[in-house]
Structure 1
Amino acid sequence: MSSNTQPLTQSALTQSSISNIDFVEYQGLARILHHCLIRYPEADFIDGLKECDVAGSWPEFSQRQQNSTGRKLLGDFLQQWSSDIDAADSEKALITLKLDYGQLFFGPGEPTAVPQGSVYLCEEQLINDRTTVELMDYYRAHGVELQLDYKQPIDHIGLFFAVLDQTFGRLQSEIDNQALIRFIQVLLQQHLLPWALRCCELANEHAKTDFYRGIALLTTDFLLQLQQDFQVLALDKRLFR
Protein backbone atom coordinates (compact mmCIF):
# COMPACT_ATOMS: atom_id res chain seq x y z
CA MET A 1 0.00 0.00 0.00
CA SER A 2 1.06 3.57 -0.58
CA SER A 3 2.54 5.28 2.46
CA ASN A 4 0.16 8.24 2.05
CA THR A 5 -2.93 6.12 2.59
CA GLN A 6 -5.66 7.99 4.45
CA PRO A 7 -7.49 5.57 6.78
CA LEU A 8 -11.25 5.26 6.55
CA THR A 9 -12.98 5.40 9.90
CA GLN A 10 -15.77 3.21 11.19
CA SER A 11 -17.93 6.32 11.64
CA ALA A 12 -17.78 6.88 7.89
CA LEU A 13 -19.33 3.45 7.44
CA THR A 14 -22.14 4.03 9.90
CA GLN A 15 -23.05 7.40 8.40
CA SER A 16 -23.04 6.22 4.82
CA SER A 17 -26.00 5.73 2.48
CA ILE A 18 -25.02 2.13 1.74
CA SER A 19 -28.41 0.81 2.83
CA ASN A 20 -30.11 2.85 0.08
CA ILE A 21 -28.11 1.30 -2.74
CA ASP A 22 -29.82 -1.09 -5.13
CA PHE A 23 -26.89 -3.48 -5.57
CA VAL A 24 -28.69 -5.42 -8.31
CA GLU A 25 -28.89 -2.21 -10.32
CA TYR A 26 -25.31 -1.22 -9.53
CA GLN A 27 -24.05 -4.65 -10.55
CA GLY A 28 -25.83 -4.29 -13.90
CA LEU A 29 -24.33 -0.85 -14.53
CA ALA A 30 -20.83 -2.05 -13.62
CA ARG A 31 -21.22 -5.00 -15.99
CA ILE A 32 -22.33 -2.80 -18.87
CA LEU A 33 -19.42 -0.39 -18.36
CA HIS A 34 -17.00 -3.29 -18.10
CA HIS A 35 -18.07 -4.65 -21.48
CA CYS A 36 -18.09 -1.18 -23.08
CA LEU A 37 -14.58 -0.32 -21.90
CA ILE A 38 -12.66 -3.58 -21.96
CA ARG A 39 -12.95 -4.66 -25.59
CA TYR A 40 -13.85 -3.67 -29.12
CA PRO A 41 -17.63 -3.41 -29.69
CA GLU A 42 -19.59 -6.07 -31.54
CA ALA A 43 -22.94 -5.64 -33.26
CA ASP A 44 -24.70 -8.15 -30.99
CA PHE A 45 -23.65 -6.21 -27.91
CA ILE A 46 -24.88 -2.87 -29.29
CA ASP A 47 -28.12 -4.57 -30.39
CA GLY A 48 -28.57 -5.81 -26.83
CA LEU A 49 -28.06 -2.33 -25.36
CA LYS A 50 -30.73 -0.98 -27.71
CA GLU A 51 -33.21 -3.79 -27.06
CA CYS A 52 -32.85 -3.34 -23.30
CA ASP A 53 -33.26 0.44 -23.63
CA VAL A 54 -30.12 0.98 -21.58
CA ALA A 55 -30.11 4.75 -22.12
CA GLY A 56 -33.77 5.13 -21.14
CA SER A 57 -33.49 2.93 -18.06
CA TRP A 58 -30.14 4.27 -16.83
CA PRO A 59 -30.70 5.81 -13.36
CA GLU A 60 -30.58 9.59 -13.08
CA PHE A 61 -28.80 9.46 -9.70
CA SER A 62 -28.20 13.03 -8.50
CA GLN A 63 -29.16 14.56 -11.87
CA ARG A 64 -25.65 15.73 -12.66
CA GLN A 65 -24.99 17.25 -16.07
CA GLN A 66 -22.79 14.30 -17.03
CA ASN A 67 -25.75 12.00 -16.45
CA SER A 68 -28.33 13.85 -18.53
CA THR A 69 -25.93 14.56 -21.39
CA GLY A 70 -24.54 11.02 -21.33
CA ARG A 71 -27.99 9.42 -21.41
CA LYS A 72 -29.03 11.65 -24.30
CA LEU A 73 -25.91 10.92 -26.35
CA LEU A 74 -26.18 7.19 -25.77
CA GLY A 75 -29.93 7.24 -26.43
CA ASP A 76 -29.53 9.17 -29.69
CA PHE A 77 -26.85 6.76 -30.86
CA LEU A 78 -28.84 3.64 -30.04
CA GLN A 79 -31.98 5.09 -31.63
CA GLN A 80 -30.13 5.47 -34.92
CA TRP A 81 -28.50 2.05 -34.59
CA SER A 82 -30.51 -0.53 -36.50
CA SER A 83 -30.01 -4.14 -37.40
CA ASP A 84 -32.53 -3.68 -40.24
CA ILE A 85 -30.27 -1.59 -42.48
CA ASP A 86 -28.42 -3.28 -45.32
CA ALA A 87 -25.31 -5.26 -44.55
CA ALA A 88 -22.90 -2.74 -46.07
CA ASP A 89 -24.19 0.19 -44.01
CA SER A 90 -24.32 -1.96 -40.88
CA GLU A 91 -20.71 -3.03 -41.33
CA LYS A 92 -19.66 0.57 -41.95
CA ALA A 93 -21.34 1.72 -38.73
CA LEU A 94 -19.64 -1.03 -36.74
CA ILE A 95 -16.23 -0.24 -38.24
CA THR A 96 -16.67 3.43 -37.30
CA LEU A 97 -17.42 2.38 -33.73
CA LYS A 98 -14.45 0.00 -33.61
CA LEU A 99 -12.12 2.69 -34.93
CA ASP A 100 -13.34 5.05 -32.22
CA TYR A 101 -12.72 2.46 -29.51
CA GLY A 102 -9.25 1.78 -30.90
CA GLN A 103 -8.10 5.38 -30.99
CA LEU A 104 -9.46 5.98 -27.50
CA PHE A 105 -8.40 2.89 -25.58
CA PHE A 106 -6.26 0.49 -27.59
CA GLY A 107 -4.25 1.75 -30.54
CA PRO A 108 -2.47 1.45 -32.94
CA GLY A 109 -0.25 4.16 -31.59
CA GLU A 110 -0.81 5.65 -28.16
CA PRO A 111 -4.50 5.77 -27.20
CA THR A 112 -5.96 9.21 -26.58
CA ALA A 113 -7.60 8.03 -23.33
CA VAL A 114 -5.18 5.41 -22.05
CA PRO A 115 -7.25 3.04 -19.86
CA GLN A 116 -4.45 1.91 -17.50
CA GLY A 117 -4.05 3.79 -14.23
CA SER A 118 -0.27 3.61 -13.94
CA VAL A 119 0.13 5.79 -17.03
CA TYR A 120 -1.58 8.64 -15.17
CA LEU A 121 -0.07 8.05 -11.74
CA CYS A 122 3.62 7.38 -12.48
CA GLU A 123 5.99 10.01 -13.79
CA GLU A 124 7.43 7.72 -16.46
CA GLN A 125 3.86 7.07 -17.71
CA LEU A 126 4.53 3.36 -18.10
CA ILE A 127 2.13 0.43 -18.15
CA ASN A 128 2.56 -2.07 -15.29
CA ASP A 129 4.39 0.43 -13.11
CA ARG A 130 4.49 0.79 -9.32
CA THR A 131 0.77 1.55 -8.83
CA THR A 132 -0.17 -1.54 -10.84
CA VAL A 133 1.89 -3.66 -8.46
CA GLU A 134 0.18 -2.00 -5.48
CA LEU A 135 -3.22 -2.86 -6.95
CA MET A 136 -2.08 -6.42 -7.61
CA ASP A 137 -1.02 -6.75 -3.97
CA TYR A 138 -4.36 -5.33 -2.83
CA TYR A 139 -6.30 -7.84 -4.91
CA ARG A 140 -4.11 -10.70 -3.73
CA ALA A 141 -4.67 -9.74 -0.09
CA HIS A 142 -8.43 -9.83 -0.62
CA GLY A 143 -8.62 -12.96 -2.74
CA VAL A 144 -9.70 -11.16 -5.90
CA GLU A 145 -9.21 -13.18 -9.09
CA LEU A 146 -9.79 -11.80 -12.57
CA GLN A 147 -10.71 -13.85 -15.63
CA LEU A 148 -8.78 -12.22 -18.48
CA ASP A 149 -9.39 -12.80 -22.19
CA TYR A 150 -5.68 -12.15 -22.71
CA LYS A 151 -2.76 -11.01 -20.58
CA GLN A 152 -3.08 -7.33 -19.79
CA PRO A 153 -2.43 -4.88 -16.94
CA ILE A 154 -4.97 -5.32 -14.16
CA ASP A 155 -5.38 -1.55 -13.69
CA HIS A 156 -7.41 -1.25 -16.90
CA ILE A 157 -10.49 0.84 -16.12
CA GLY A 158 -12.73 -1.84 -17.59
CA LEU A 159 -11.35 -4.45 -15.18
CA PHE A 160 -12.15 -2.24 -12.19
CA PHE A 161 -15.79 -2.46 -13.21
CA ALA A 162 -15.50 -6.25 -13.40
CA VAL A 163 -14.30 -6.27 -9.78
CA LEU A 164 -17.12 -3.91 -8.77
CA ASP A 165 -19.57 -6.19 -10.59
CA GLN A 166 -18.41 -9.17 -8.52
CA THR A 167 -18.45 -7.23 -5.25
CA PHE A 168 -21.89 -5.70 -5.80
CA GLY A 169 -23.14 -9.21 -6.54
CA ARG A 170 -21.93 -10.37 -3.13
CA LEU A 171 -23.36 -7.33 -1.36
CA GLN A 172 -26.84 -8.19 -2.62
CA SER A 173 -26.94 -10.94 0.00
CA GLU A 174 -24.28 -9.58 2.37
CA ILE A 175 -25.45 -6.00 2.85
CA ASP A 176 -23.94 -5.81 6.33
CA ASN A 177 -20.55 -7.16 5.29
CA GLN A 178 -18.34 -4.29 6.44
CA ALA A 179 -15.23 -5.92 4.98
CA LEU A 180 -16.75 -5.78 1.48
CA ILE A 181 -17.83 -2.19 1.95
CA ARG A 182 -14.36 -1.20 3.11
CA PHE A 183 -12.85 -3.11 0.18
CA ILE A 184 -14.84 -0.93 -2.22
CA GLN A 185 -14.00 2.24 -0.30
CA VAL A 186 -10.26 1.61 -0.47
CA LEU A 187 -10.48 0.48 -4.10
CA LEU A 188 -12.20 3.73 -5.02
CA GLN A 189 -10.17 6.03 -2.80
CA GLN A 190 -6.67 4.76 -3.52
CA HIS A 191 -6.71 2.87 -6.78
CA LEU A 192 -9.48 4.13 -9.11
CA LEU A 193 -10.77 7.62 -8.38
CA PRO A 194 -7.35 9.35 -8.32
CA TRP A 195 -7.07 8.92 -12.12
CA ALA A 196 -10.24 7.45 -13.65
CA LEU A 197 -12.11 10.74 -13.95
CA ARG A 198 -9.20 12.10 -16.02
CA CYS A 199 -9.40 9.06 -18.27
CA CYS A 200 -13.12 9.69 -18.77
CA GLU A 201 -12.47 13.38 -19.45
CA LEU A 202 -10.00 12.48 -22.20
CA ALA A 203 -12.41 9.90 -23.64
CA ASN A 204 -15.20 12.46 -23.81
CA GLU A 205 -12.86 15.02 -25.36
CA HIS A 206 -11.48 12.75 -28.07
CA ALA A 207 -14.39 10.42 -28.86
CA LYS A 208 -15.66 10.61 -32.43
CA THR A 209 -18.99 8.89 -31.79
CA ASP A 210 -21.93 9.70 -29.55
CA PHE A 211 -21.68 6.17 -28.19
CA TYR A 212 -18.29 6.64 -26.55
CA ARG A 213 -18.99 10.25 -25.59
CA GLY A 214 -22.09 9.00 -23.81
CA ILE A 215 -20.27 6.10 -22.16
CA ALA A 216 -17.48 8.43 -20.97
CA LEU A 217 -19.98 10.77 -19.35
CA LEU A 218 -22.05 7.99 -17.79
CA THR A 219 -18.88 6.40 -16.43
CA THR A 220 -17.92 9.73 -14.88
CA ASP A 221 -21.35 10.11 -13.33
CA PHE A 222 -21.37 6.57 -11.94
CA LEU A 223 -17.95 7.07 -10.37
CA LEU A 224 -19.12 10.31 -8.77
CA GLN A 225 -22.19 8.50 -7.47
CA LEU A 226 -20.07 5.74 -5.98
CA GLN A 227 -17.85 8.35 -4.37
CA GLN A 228 -20.96 9.90 -2.82
CA ASP A 229 -22.55 6.61 -1.77
CA PHE A 230 -19.42 5.18 -0.17
CA GLN A 231 -18.37 8.57 1.21
CA VAL A 232 -14.78 8.57 0.08
CA LEU A 233 -12.41 11.26 -1.10
CA ALA A 234 -9.92 10.26 -3.74
CA LEU A 235 -6.32 10.45 -2.65
CA ASP A 236 -4.80 13.63 -4.01
CA LYS A 237 -2.22 12.26 -6.41
CA ARG A 238 -0.33 14.09 -9.11
CA LEU A 239 -1.44 13.10 -12.60
CA PHE A 240 1.08 13.00 -15.43
CA ARG A 241 -1.36 13.39 -18.30
Structure 2
Amino acid sequence: MVAGQIGGEERSCAGAQAADAPELDLSSAAGAEALRAVSLVGETLAPLFLAEPGCASAQAQLCALEAADACEFAAGWPFALEADARRAIGLMQQGLAEPREGLTWEFRRLFIGPGHLVAPPWGSTYTDRDGVVFGDSHTRLVEFMRGNGIIRRVDEHTPVDHIGLMLHLMAWIADNRPEVLREYLSKHLLTWSSHFLEGLALHTESAFYQGLALLTRTTLEGIGEVFAVDVEYPRYVR
Protein backbone atom coordinates (compact mmCIF):
# COMPACT_ATOMS: atom_id res chain seq x y z
CA MET A 1 0.00 0.00 0.00
CA VAL A 2 1.27 3.47 -0.85
CA ALA A 3 0.19 6.91 0.18
CA GLY A 4 -2.13 7.48 -2.73
CA GLN A 5 -4.19 4.47 -1.63
CA ILE A 6 -4.74 5.22 2.03
CA GLY A 7 -7.44 7.82 1.85
CA GLY A 8 -5.00 10.67 2.42
CA GLU A 9 -3.09 10.83 5.69
CA GLU A 10 -3.34 14.39 6.93
CA ARG A 11 -0.26 16.49 6.44
CA SER A 12 -0.39 17.52 10.10
CA CYS A 13 1.76 14.44 10.73
CA ALA A 14 4.32 15.39 8.16
CA GLY A 15 6.09 18.64 8.86
CA ALA A 16 8.98 19.37 11.16
CA GLN A 17 7.97 19.98 14.75
CA ALA A 18 9.10 23.24 16.26
CA ALA A 19 11.91 22.84 18.76
CA ASP A 20 9.84 24.37 21.58
CA ALA A 21 6.60 22.51 20.70
CA PRO A 22 5.08 20.31 23.43
CA GLU A 23 5.68 16.59 23.26
CA LEU A 24 3.06 14.80 21.21
CA ASP A 25 0.38 13.23 23.41
CA LEU A 26 -0.02 9.70 22.08
CA SER A 27 -3.47 9.37 23.67
CA SER A 28 -4.79 12.40 21.76
CA ALA A 29 -6.45 12.35 18.34
CA ALA A 30 -3.31 13.85 16.82
CA GLY A 31 -1.18 11.22 18.54
CA ALA A 32 -3.36 8.38 17.30
CA GLU A 33 -3.20 9.79 13.77
CA ALA A 34 0.58 10.05 13.91
CA LEU A 35 0.85 6.47 15.16
CA ARG A 36 -1.30 5.24 12.28
CA ALA A 37 0.99 7.09 9.88
CA VAL A 38 4.07 5.49 11.47
CA SER A 39 2.50 2.07 11.00
CA LEU A 40 1.74 2.86 7.36
CA VAL A 41 5.32 3.96 6.73
CA GLY A 42 6.82 0.83 8.27
CA GLU A 43 4.52 -1.61 6.50
CA THR A 44 4.94 0.15 3.15
CA LEU A 45 8.72 0.47 3.15
CA ALA A 46 9.85 -2.69 4.93
CA PRO A 47 9.12 -5.16 2.09
CA LEU A 48 11.18 -3.06 -0.32
CA PHE A 49 14.29 -3.75 1.79
CA LEU A 50 13.47 -7.37 2.60
CA ALA A 51 12.32 -8.94 -0.66
CA GLU A 52 14.04 -9.18 -4.01
CA PRO A 53 12.12 -7.14 -6.59
CA GLY A 54 11.24 -10.31 -8.48
CA CYS A 55 9.60 -11.94 -5.43
CA ALA A 56 5.83 -12.14 -5.12
CA SER A 57 5.93 -10.49 -1.67
CA ALA A 58 7.27 -7.26 -3.20
CA GLN A 59 5.01 -7.09 -6.24
CA ALA A 60 2.03 -5.32 -4.66
CA GLN A 61 4.19 -2.43 -3.46
CA LEU A 62 6.18 -2.20 -6.68
CA CYS A 63 3.12 -2.22 -8.92
CA ALA A 64 1.40 0.41 -6.77
CA LEU A 65 4.49 2.62 -6.82
CA GLU A 66 4.86 2.20 -10.56
CA ALA A 67 1.24 3.28 -11.14
CA ALA A 68 1.15 6.10 -8.57
CA ASP A 69 0.75 9.73 -9.53
CA ALA A 70 3.92 11.36 -8.17
CA CYS A 71 2.18 14.56 -7.06
CA GLU A 72 -0.66 12.72 -5.31
CA PHE A 73 1.79 10.35 -3.67
CA ALA A 74 3.93 13.21 -2.37
CA ALA A 75 0.92 15.11 -1.05
CA GLY A 76 -0.36 12.07 0.83
CA TRP A 77 2.89 10.63 2.15
CA PRO A 78 3.38 11.41 5.86
CA PHE A 79 6.34 12.97 7.67
CA ALA A 80 8.58 13.76 4.67
CA LEU A 81 8.60 17.15 2.99
CA GLU A 82 6.43 17.05 -0.10
CA ALA A 83 9.30 18.05 -2.42
CA ASP A 84 11.48 15.23 -1.07
CA ALA A 85 8.67 12.69 -1.45
CA ARG A 86 7.97 13.83 -5.01
CA ARG A 87 11.65 13.55 -5.96
CA ALA A 88 11.89 10.14 -4.29
CA ILE A 89 8.88 8.64 -6.06
CA GLY A 90 10.16 10.05 -9.35
CA LEU A 91 13.47 8.27 -8.88
CA MET A 92 11.76 5.05 -7.86
CA GLN A 93 9.49 5.11 -10.90
CA GLN A 94 12.49 5.79 -13.11
CA GLY A 95 14.16 2.68 -11.70
CA LEU A 96 11.01 0.59 -12.05
CA ALA A 97 10.87 1.43 -15.76
CA GLU A 98 14.00 -0.71 -16.19
CA PRO A 99 13.86 -4.53 -16.42
CA ARG A 100 13.19 -6.20 -13.06
CA GLU A 101 16.15 -8.52 -13.54
CA GLY A 102 18.59 -5.62 -13.26
CA LEU A 103 16.85 -4.38 -10.11
CA THR A 104 17.07 -7.84 -8.60
CA TRP A 105 20.81 -8.02 -9.25
CA GLU A 106 21.26 -4.59 -7.67
CA PHE A 107 19.30 -5.72 -4.59
CA ARG A 108 21.64 -8.68 -4.24
CA ARG A 109 24.76 -6.56 -4.78
CA LEU A 110 23.69 -4.09 -2.12
CA PHE A 111 22.16 -6.31 0.56
CA ILE A 112 22.97 -9.99 0.05
CA GLY A 113 26.20 -10.64 -1.82
CA PRO A 114 28.25 -12.67 -2.52
CA GLY A 115 31.25 -10.48 -2.07
CA HIS A 116 31.74 -7.22 -0.25
CA LEU A 117 28.48 -5.43 0.52
CA VAL A 118 28.55 -1.71 -0.21
CA ALA A 119 25.40 -1.09 1.86
CA PRO A 120 24.98 -3.80 4.50
CA PRO A 121 21.46 -3.48 5.94
CA TRP A 122 22.29 -4.38 9.57
CA GLY A 123 22.68 -1.71 12.21
CA SER A 124 25.55 -3.22 14.15
CA THR A 125 27.81 -3.20 11.09
CA TYR A 126 27.81 0.61 11.46
CA THR A 127 27.61 1.07 15.23
CA ASP A 128 29.57 -1.82 16.73
CA ARG A 129 33.23 -1.03 17.31
CA ASP A 130 34.23 -4.12 15.32
CA GLY A 131 31.68 -3.44 12.57
CA VAL A 132 30.23 -6.94 12.76
CA VAL A 133 26.81 -8.54 12.40
CA PHE A 134 25.32 -9.56 15.79
CA GLY A 135 27.33 -6.82 17.51
CA ASP A 136 26.63 -4.98 20.75
CA SER A 137 23.86 -2.79 19.35
CA HIS A 138 22.13 -5.93 18.06
CA THR A 139 22.34 -7.41 21.55
CA ARG A 140 20.77 -4.26 23.03
CA LEU A 141 17.93 -4.44 20.52
CA VAL A 142 17.25 -8.09 21.42
CA GLU A 143 17.23 -7.12 25.10
CA PHE A 144 14.81 -4.25 24.39
CA MET A 145 12.47 -6.64 22.59
CA ARG A 146 12.68 -9.24 25.33
CA GLY A 147 12.17 -6.66 28.08
CA ASN A 148 9.03 -5.35 26.40
CA GLY A 149 7.53 -8.74 25.58
CA ILE A 150 8.08 -8.37 21.84
CA ILE A 151 8.26 -11.77 20.15
CA ARG A 152 11.12 -12.37 17.76
CA ARG A 153 9.64 -13.26 14.36
CA VAL A 154 12.84 -14.61 12.83
CA ASP A 155 15.17 -17.39 13.97
CA GLU A 156 18.23 -16.72 16.10
CA HIS A 157 20.52 -17.02 13.07
CA THR A 158 18.87 -13.95 11.46
CA PRO A 159 19.95 -10.51 12.74
CA VAL A 160 16.92 -8.55 13.94
CA ASP A 161 18.62 -5.21 13.23
CA HIS A 162 18.09 -5.51 9.46
CA ILE A 163 16.57 -2.21 8.26
CA GLY A 164 13.55 -4.00 6.78
CA LEU A 165 12.84 -5.96 9.96
CA MET A 166 13.26 -2.81 12.02
CA LEU A 167 10.76 -0.93 9.86
CA HIS A 168 8.29 -3.78 10.37
CA LEU A 169 8.99 -3.63 14.10
CA MET A 170 8.43 0.14 14.13
CA ALA A 171 4.98 -0.43 12.60
CA TRP A 172 4.18 -3.17 15.11
CA ILE A 173 5.21 -0.99 18.05
CA ALA A 174 3.12 1.92 16.75
CA ASP A 175 0.10 -0.39 16.60
CA ASN A 176 0.63 -2.41 19.76
CA ARG A 177 3.13 -0.78 22.16
CA PRO A 178 3.14 2.95 21.34
CA GLU A 179 4.43 3.83 24.80
CA VAL A 180 7.87 2.41 23.88
CA LEU A 181 8.04 3.89 20.37
CA ARG A 182 10.23 6.85 21.35
CA GLU A 183 12.70 4.58 23.13
CA TYR A 184 12.86 2.28 20.12
CA LEU A 185 13.49 5.17 17.76
CA SER A 186 16.00 7.00 19.94
CA LYS A 187 18.11 4.01 21.01
CA HIS A 188 17.79 1.49 18.22
CA LEU A 189 16.59 2.74 14.83
CA LEU A 190 17.35 6.43 14.35
CA THR A 191 20.86 5.94 15.74
CA TRP A 192 22.01 4.50 12.41
CA SER A 193 19.24 4.70 9.82
CA SER A 194 20.18 8.05 8.24
CA HIS A 195 23.85 7.06 8.04
CA PHE A 196 22.98 3.79 6.32
CA LEU A 197 20.50 5.41 3.95
CA GLU A 198 22.94 8.15 2.94
CA GLY A 199 25.48 5.42 2.12
CA LEU A 200 22.88 3.46 0.18
CA ALA A 201 22.03 6.51 -1.94
CA LEU A 202 25.72 7.10 -2.58
CA HIS A 203 26.67 3.55 -3.54
CA THR A 204 23.66 2.26 -5.45
CA GLU A 205 23.67 2.27 -9.24
CA SER A 206 19.87 2.19 -9.38
CA ALA A 207 17.52 5.17 -9.45
CA PHE A 208 14.98 3.01 -7.61
CA TYR A 209 17.22 2.51 -4.58
CA GLN A 210 18.33 6.15 -4.66
CA GLY A 211 14.67 7.10 -4.38
CA LEU A 212 13.94 4.50 -1.71
CA ALA A 213 16.90 5.72 0.35
CA LEU A 214 15.75 9.34 0.08
CA LEU A 215 12.13 8.55 0.94
CA THR A 216 13.03 6.35 3.89
CA ARG A 217 15.63 8.75 5.31
CA THR A 218 13.51 11.90 5.12
CA THR A 219 10.46 10.06 6.46
CA LEU A 220 12.28 8.59 9.45
CA GLU A 221 13.87 11.95 10.21
CA GLY A 222 10.41 13.50 10.03
CA ILE A 223 9.06 10.90 12.45
CA GLY A 224 11.87 11.78 14.84
CA GLU A 225 10.91 15.45 14.67
CA VAL A 226 7.16 14.90 15.11
CA PHE A 227 7.67 12.58 18.07
CA ALA A 228 10.39 14.82 19.57
CA VAL A 229 12.88 11.96 19.69
CA ASP A 230 16.24 12.78 21.26
CA VAL A 231 18.85 10.64 19.51
CA GLU A 232 22.40 10.10 20.75
CA TYR A 233 24.37 9.19 17.64
CA PRO A 234 27.26 6.73 17.95
CA ARG A 235 30.61 6.92 16.28
CA TYR A 236 30.27 5.03 13.01
CA VAL A 237 32.88 2.48 12.03
CA ARG A 238 32.04 2.52 8.30
Q: TM-score normalized by structure 2? A: 0.77
Identity across matched positions, percent: 23
Cα distance in structure 1, aligned partners of 2:235 and 2:186: 14
Aligned length: 208
Cα distance in structure 2, aligned partners of 1:32 and 1:102: 20
Q: What is residue 109 of structure 1 aligned with on the other side?
A: 115
Q: What is residue 57 of structure 1 aligned with on the other side?
A: 73
Q: What is residue 161 of structure 2 aligned with on the other side?
A: 155
**Is the CA contact 1:66–1:220 (under 8 Å) kept in the aligned structure 2?**
no
Superposed counterparts of 1:182-221, under 5 Å = 182-221=179-218
**Does 2:39 align with 1:42?**
no
Kindly provide the amino acid, as one letter, of the partner of residue 95 in structure 2.
Answer: F
Superposed counterparts of 1:18-167, under 5 Å = 18=26, 19=30, 21-42=33-54, 44=56, 45=59, 46-51=62-67, 53=68, 55=70, 56-58=72-74, 59=77, 61=79, 63=81, 66-78=84-96, 80=97, 93-148=99-154, 151-167=157-173
- Which SS does the other structure have where 2:165 is aligned? helix
Cα distance in structure 2, aligned partners of 1:96 and 1:111: 17
Kindly provide the amino acid, as one letter, of the partner of residue 49 in structure 1.
Answer: L
**Greater RCO, 1 or 2 (C-alpha within 8 Å, sep 6+):** 1
**Is the CA contact 1:100–1:209 (under 8 Å) kept in the aligned structure 2?**
yes
- Which SS does the other structure have where 1:194 is aligned? coil
Segments of 5+ residues of structure 2 without an aligned counterpart are: 1-19
Return the offset for 1:48: 4.0
Return the offset for 1:14: 5.8
User: How much is the aligned-residue C-alpha RMSD, in angstroms?
Assistant: 2.6
**Is the CA contact 2:80–2:219 (under 8 Å) kept in the aligned structure 1?**
no
Cα distance in structure 2, aligned partners of 1:189 and 1:38: 23
- Which SS does the other structure have where 1:128 is aligned? coil
Kindly provide the amino acid, as one letter, of the partner of residue 24 in structure 2.
Answer: S
Q: TM-score normalized by structure 1? A: 0.76
Cα distance in structure 2, aligned partners of 1:95 and 1:156: 23
**Is the CA contact 2:35–2:178 (under 8 Å) kept in the aligned structure 1?**
no
Residues 178-230 of structure 1, C-alpha deviations (whole Å, 9 max, x = no match)? xx344111111111111111110111011111111110000101111110111
Cα distance in structure 2, aligned partners of 1:30 and 1:119: 22
**Is the CA contact 1:17–1:229 (under 8 Å) kept in the aligned structure 2?**
no
Kindly provide the amino acid, as one letter, of the partner of residue 187 in structure 2.
Answer: Q
Residues 115-147 of structure 1, C-alpha deviations (whole Å, 9 max, x = no match)? 111111112111001111111000001111232
Residues 46-82 of structure 1, C-alpha deviations (whole Å, 9 max, x = no match)? 224334x28542416452764342122123334x36x
Q: Evaluate the alpha carbon distance shift between residue 23 and residue 181 of structure 1 in structure 2; reply closer, same or farther with a 3 A threshold.
A: closer
Cα distance in structure 1, aligned partners of 2:130 and 2:69: 38
